[in-house]
A = this chain, B = another copy of it.
Amino acid sequence: MTVYLVGAGPGDPGLITARGLDLIRSCDVLVHDRLVARELVDEAPSDALVISRAGLRQAALNGLLIELGREGRTVVRLKGGDPYVFGRGGEEALALAEADVAVEVVPGVSALAAVPAAAGIPVTHRGVADSVTLTTGHGADGSPPDYEALARIGGTLVLFMGLARLPEIVKGLIGAGLDPATPAAVVSAGTLPEQQTMIAPLAELASAAEGFVSPALVVVGSVVSLADAIAHATGASLIVAS
Complex CA gap A229/B130 in Å reads 33
A14-22, A167-175, A200-208: which lies at the interface = A14-22
With beta carbons under 8 angstroms apart, the residue of B107, B229, B234 that contacts A117 is B107
Interface 9-mer from A28-36, A45-53, A78-86, A180-188: A78-86
Question: How many A residues touch B, CB cutoff 8 Å?
Answer: 82
State whether the Cβ of A55 lies closer than 8 Å to any Cβ in chain B: no
Nearest CB on B from A94, distance (A): 6
Report yes or no: B153 in contact with A89, Cβ–Cβ below 8 A.
Answer: no
- Which residue of chain B is the closest to A90 with respect to CB atoms? B122
Given known A-B contacts A17-B14, A154-B146, A234-B103, A132 and B85 have beta carbons under 8 A apart: yes
Residues of chain B with a CB closer than 8 A to A213's CB: none
B contact residues around A110 at 8 Å (CB): 110, 113
**Residue from the list B87, B122, B135 in contact with A93, Cβ < 8 A:** B122
Residue among B86, B130, B136, B234 making CB contact with A139, cutoff 8 Å: B130
A193 within 8 A of B: no
Residue pair B124, A84 in contact (C-beta under 8 Å): yes
A164 at the interface (CB under 8 A from B): no
Q: Is A214 an interface residue (CB 8 A)?
A: no
Q: Which residues of chain B have C-beta atoms less than 8 A from A96's C-beta?
A: 233
Q: For window 1-49 of chain A, which residues contact chain B by CB distance below 8 Å? A: 7, 9-10, 12-19, 21-22
Offer 20 A-B interface pairs, CB within 8 angstroms, sorted by A.
A14-B22, A15-B107, A18-B21, A83-B117, A84-B117, A86-B124, A96-B233, A100-B233, A103-B233, A103-B234, A104-B234, A105-B117, A105-B234, A107-B117, A110-B113, A130-B140, A131-B134, A131-B136, A134-B134, A135-B155
